[in-house]
């Protein structure tokens, strides 16, 4: 069964077409990395899933039921843009209010549990307006986690955080995926972070889903490259450029994307009197895969 099944989703804001027939399938239990450029339609899709805006066309099913079904929607947790909290209330009171909204019986225990999950036990009495951006994002996640959600929709929860905030958020997200049996849809521009937790990916562009794949498919689809260093990088690059179609210099290394094996490159350079000082093979990550895909589509 799929947690989310979207077919031919369309949404227009006046003359602007934000979504043009988007399809999306998120299996139950998946951690779905939702990727796309700014304005590609990620947030619009998420808001429609959560019933915050209305689609112009298409249909959405959550766990096999219509997305407007009250019983299903009661089990959706959301953090879209900023967390929806009252600034003059304490963190605890904001969470208790959401607990009341969800008719949670042991509200105190449940609120303590989510505060522990987001590493905010010590800040429960702080006023929301006095919290840092990282804390606010974690409070938003705590609110979304209340009531044992079956589906968690997190819109860019790590954007704008400093290194420490990002580290804590990574730990929090990792805990959620381990300890809460829920399907997570998470959109972010920080693909390196997303890659560490996502099991499925959806790449959206211009209001359309251009690719959906599992983490395994991404792994298989990511090309291997050979990275090397020599004493004469300019000559090496020119030489390799004559033999291989894609040679890029990046971070002090020359990357060759279409070589059969590292030995082949070493031999070729040796024949041309260049000695290789360091050589490794690696695979491109999600970020490069995404950039490649975007470039590919742009060319088309």
Partner 1 sequence: MEMKFERNSFGKRLKSMLSVDFRRMFTMPLFYIMVGISLVIPILILVMTTMMDGTVSVNPQTGVETVMEGFDSTWQAIGSVSGEGMMMDMSLTGMCNVNMLYFFVAVFVCLFVSEDFRSGYSKNLFTVRAKKSDYVISKTLAGFVGGACMLIGFFVGAMLGGAISGLPFDTGTAGIYGIVMCLLSKILLVAVFVPIYLAVSVAAKQKTWLSIVGSLCVGMLLFTMIPMLTPLDSGIMNVILCLAGGVLFSIGLGAASNKILRKTSLV
Beta bridge partners of 66: 61
Given the complex with partner 1, which of 63 and 290 has the nearer CB atom?
Answer: 63
192 counts as binding partner 1 under rule CB under 8 A: no
Given the complex with partner 1, which of 1 and 242 has the nearer CB atom?
Answer: 1
Given the complex with partner 1, which of 71 and 260 has the nearer CB atom?
Answer: 71
Stretch that binds partner 1, among 100-108, 172-180, 194-202, 228-236 (CB under 8 A): 100-108
Binding mask 50-89 for partner 1 (x = CB under 8 A): xxxxx--------xxx--xxxxxxxxxxx-xxxxxxxxxx
# chain residues binding partner 1, by CB under 8 A = 43
**Identified binder of partner 1 from the candidate list 100, 133, 220, 291, rule CB under 8 A:** 100
Given the complex with partner 1, which of 53 and 276 has the nearer CB atom?
Answer: 53
Stretch that binds partner 1, among 94-102, 168-176, 193-201, 277-285 (CB under 8 A): 94-102
| Min CB(294)–partner 1 separation in Å | 28
Beta bridge partners of 270: none
Given the complex with partner 1, which of 36 and 77 has the nearer CB atom?
Answer: 77
Closest CA to 137 of 172, 102, 177: 172
Given the complex with partner 1, which of 52 and 291 has the nearer CB atom?
Answer: 52
β-sheet with 31-36: strand ranges across: 76-79, 151-155, 183-187, 31-36, 200-205, 208-214
**Identified binder of partner 1 from the candidate list 147, 157, 202, 207, rule CB under 8 A:** 147
- Please report, as ranges, the residues that interact with partner 1 according to CB under 8 A: 1, 28, 47, 50-54, 63-65, 68-78, 80-89, 93, 96-98, 100-103, 143, 147, 150
């Amino acid at each position: 069964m799929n947690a989310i099944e979207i077919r031919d989703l369309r949404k227009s804001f006046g003359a602007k077409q934000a979504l043009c027939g988007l399809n999306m399938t998120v299996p139950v239990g998946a951690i779905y990395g939702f990727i796309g450029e700014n304005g590609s339609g990620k947030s619009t899709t998420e808001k429609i899933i959560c019933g915050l805006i209305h689609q112009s066309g298409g249909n959405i099913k959550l766990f096999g039921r219509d997305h407007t079904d009250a019983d299903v929607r009661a089990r959706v947790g959301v953090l879209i843009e900023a967390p929806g909290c009252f600034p003059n209330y304490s963190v605890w009171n904001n969470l208790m209010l959401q607990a009341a909204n969800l008719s949670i019986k042991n509200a105190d225990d449940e609120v303590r549990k989510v505060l522990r999950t987001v590493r905010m036990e010590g800040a429960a009495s702080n006023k929301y307006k006095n919290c840092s951006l990282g804390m606010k994002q974690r409070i938003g996640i705590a609110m979304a986690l209340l009531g044992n959600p079956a589906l968690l929709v997190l819109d860019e929860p790590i954007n704008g955080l400093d290194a420490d905030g990002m580290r804590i958020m990574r730990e929090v997200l990792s805990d959620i995926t381990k300890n809460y049996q829920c399907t997570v849809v998470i959109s972010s521009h920080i693909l390196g972070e997303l890659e560490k937790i996502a099991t499925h990916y959806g790449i959206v562009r211009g209001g359309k889903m251009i690719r959906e794949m599992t983490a395994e498919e991404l792994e298989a689809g990511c090309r291997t490259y050979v990275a090397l260093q020599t004493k004469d990088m300019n000559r090496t690059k020119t030489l390799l450029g004559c033999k291989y179609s894609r040679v890029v210099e990046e971070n002090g290394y020359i990357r060759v994307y279409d070589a059969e094996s590292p030995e082949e490159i070493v031999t070729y350079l040796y024949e041309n009197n260049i000695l290789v000082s360091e050589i490794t093979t690696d695979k491109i990550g999600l970020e490069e895969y995404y950039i490649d895909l975007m470039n590919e589509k742009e060319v088309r």
